[in-house]
């Protein structure tokens, strides 16, 4: 019972949103995108939800909850991977834009 309470407390800490404005710096070349932060938070919440459900299944011996919990953890990992892929594509596009601008300046 104590481990279930500890897991619930951990989930509460994971779901408390950070102040979004504190993460954006006026001096940063590319400020955080609010959509990305939300997607990352959703992925973290889904993973934590899966851990809790899996732990509940283990405590009660319910294989259904264990399987559903593991599936939610995999879904959270996939959501995180999608955010990483999107950020990587955005980074490559920005670098390509810089290179094209430099080439255009050299040709002028």
Query: What distances in angstroms separate CA 108 from CA 34, 99, 105, one per listed residue?
Result: 37, 14, 5
Per residue in 52-85, pLDDT (tens digit) is 999 999 999 999 999 999 999 999 999 999 999 9
**What does the pLDDT average to over 13-38?**
50
Residue 88 has pLDDT above 50, yes or no: yes
Q: Give the pair of three-digit tokens for residue 31.
A: 């400020």
pTM tops 0.75, yes or no: no
Query: What distances in angstroms separate CA 9 from CA 6, 38, 49, 55, 101, one per listed residue?
Result: 5, 21, 12, 13, 50
Give pairs for 95-104: CB < 8 Å, separation 24+: none
Portion of the chain with pLDDT greater than 90, in percent: 50
Least confident of 17-26, 75-84, 97-106: 17-26
């Amino acid at each position: 019972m104590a481990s279930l309470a500890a897991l619930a407390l951990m989930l509460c800490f994971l779901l408390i949103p950070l102040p979004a404005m504190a993460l954006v710096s006026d001096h940063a070349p590319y400020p955080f995108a609010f959509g990305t932060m939300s997607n990352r938070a959703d992925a973290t919440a889904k993973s934590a939800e899966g851990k809790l459900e899996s732990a509940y299944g283990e405590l009660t011996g319910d294989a259904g909850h264990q399987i559903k919990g593991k599936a939610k953890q995999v879904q959270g990992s996939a959501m995180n991977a999608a955010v990483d892929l999107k950020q990587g594509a955005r980074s490559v596009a920005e670098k390509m834009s810089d290179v094209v601008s430099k080439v255009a300046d050299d040709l002028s």
